[in-house]
């Protein structure tokens, strides 16, 4: 009996022990689980906090190495291109079109004048044709007429001198140009015997001057020039434009008072005398504002005034048109210049507010 009771107590203690152990184990496991979940949550928070920084650094690294990669690739390609075979470069250069250099008008005119001088200057002798041919070789394209279109047999008829050449027109398109010169040629005929005779003519031929318009084609390449075709004589005279001087229409009333006209005339007499004889300071005395650095002193001498016209000016002064007769000091030739002046009258004293050469007003002639 006692043994059974003791056995019961032992089993009861054992049950109690295991129950406590189970409860403790459950408590420990619950605590571990809570700690584990808290640790996981903490790790998640740390991960969320660290991601942006880690991502930013990674992006920066990726960008840096991409840029370095592009730089390296570009440098490699440049090196490969520079170190490539010379033959490839030569082939590429052949594909480029030649540059066409446009000449200035001054260069074309200078070349044309030089050509005209060698074309129109010769003296009749035994070698006139050969000498002229030699001079023209430096201009004419190879294979063209050696005399530039001039019959060599006629060279012996007269010696020629180029008196003057003047450019009147320059046309240029691409690498081709055409320069037209107005030339004055002096011809001195050789008084050869008439055909079938040995006696010179009784009346020798006199020298004469001929004016012509001479057109010269020019081909340009890389700064060099050549005459590709024979030059030609052309009709270069220009027709006069159909204009005439229009009747002058003043804005103000014309002044006809004799006393006033005389005062203006006396003033202008003094002005033009000083203008042709005085210093800039003396000339400036007659002007309100003078920018005249020098008049006509030493060049022209004042002779007289003609055709004086005086009109009222809108600024309470006078507009004056007058013909001034001026004589050249060296040649004694007399010239007439029409002047347009604006006079200001202050305290019964005249001064000039403006002075210029008069310019005609033109009108077109109908039917021309």
pLDDT, residue 222, reads 87
Pair 92, 110 in one domain: no
Q: What's the structural domain count of the chain?
A: 3
Pair 92, 112 in one domain: no
pLDDT, residue 80, reads 47
Pair 109, 229 in one domain: yes
Pair 63, 118 in one domain: no
pLDDT, residue 308, reads 97
> Does 113 map to a domain?
yes
The CA distance from 238 to 234, in Å, is 12
pLDDT, residue 16, reads 67
Pair 157, 264 in one domain: no
pLDDT, residue 339, reads 96
pLDDT, residue 228, reads 96
Residue 15 Cα distances to 28, 29, 51, 199, 317, angstroms: 20, 21, 53, 175, 142
Considering 53, 71, 96, which residue would you say is the last residue of a domain?
A: 96
Are the beta carbons of 297 and 278 closer than 8 angstroms? yes
- Domain span at residue 212 reads 105-193+204-234
pLDDT-flagged residues of the chain (< 70): 1-30, 32-102, 192-204, 291-293, 368
pLDDT, residue 83, reads 45
pLDDT, residue 98, reads 45
Residue 55 Cα distances to 44, 45, 68, 93, 210, angstroms: 16, 16, 20, 51, 96
The CA distance from 42 to 203, in Å, is 135
The CA distance from 191 to 199, in Å, is 10
The CA distance from 233 to 116, in Å, is 12
pLDDT, residue 160, reads 96
> Does 130 map to a domain?
yes
The CA distance from 181 to 184, in Å, is 10
Considering 76, 96, 116, which residue would you say is the last residue of a domain?
A: 96
The CA distance from 302 to 323, in Å, is 11
Pair 39, 134 in one domain: no
CATH number for the domain that contains residue 357: 3.10.450.540
Pair 178, 59 in one domain: no
Considering 69, 96, 123, which residue would you say is the last residue of a domain?
A: 96
């Amino acid at each position: 009996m006692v043994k059974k009771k003791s056995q019961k107590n032992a089993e009861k203690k054992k049950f109690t022990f295991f129950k406590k152990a189970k409860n403790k184990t459950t408590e420990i496991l619950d605590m571990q689980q809570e700690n584990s979940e808290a640790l996981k949550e903490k790790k998640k928070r740390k991960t969320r906090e660290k991601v942006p920084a880690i991502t930013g650094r990674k992006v920066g690294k990726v960008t840096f190495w991409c840029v370095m990669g592009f730089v390296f690739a570009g440098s490699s390609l440049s090196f490969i291109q520079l170190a490539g075979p010379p033959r490839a470069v030569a082939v590429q250069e052949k594909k480029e079109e030649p540059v066409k250099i446009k000449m200035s008008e001054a260069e074309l005119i200078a070349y044309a004048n030089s050509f005209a001088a060698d074309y129109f200057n010769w003296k009749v002798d035994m070698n006139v044709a050969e000498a002229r041919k030699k001079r023209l070789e430096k201009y004419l394209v190879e294979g063209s007429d050696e005399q530039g279109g001039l019959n060599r047999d006629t060279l012996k008829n007269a010696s020629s001198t180029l008196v003057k050449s003047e450019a009147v027109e320059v046309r240029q398109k691409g690498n081709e140009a055409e320069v037209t010169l107005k030339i004055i040629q002096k011809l001195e005929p050789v008084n050869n015997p008439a055909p079938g005779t040995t006696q010179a003519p009784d009346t020798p031929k006199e020298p004469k001057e001929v004016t012509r318009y001479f057109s010269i084609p020019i081909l340009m390449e890389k700064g060099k020039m050549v005459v590709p075709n024979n030059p030609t004589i052309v009709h270069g005279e220009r027709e006069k434009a159909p204009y005439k001087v229009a009747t002058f229409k003043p804005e103000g009333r014309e002044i006809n008072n004799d006393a006033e006209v005389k005062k203006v005339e006396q003033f202008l007499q003094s002005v033009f005398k000083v203008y042709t004889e005085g210093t800039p300071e003396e000339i400036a005395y007659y002007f309100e504002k003078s920018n005249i650095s020098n008049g006509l002193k030493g060049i022209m001498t004042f002779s007289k005034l003609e055709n004086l016209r005086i009109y009222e000016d809108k600024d309470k002064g006078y507009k004056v048109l007058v013909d001034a007769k001026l004589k050249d000091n060296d040649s004694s030739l007399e010239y007439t210049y029409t002047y347009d002046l604006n006079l200001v009258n202050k305290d019964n004293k005249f001064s000039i507010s403006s002075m210029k050469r008069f310019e005609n007003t033109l009108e077109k002639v109908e039917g021309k």
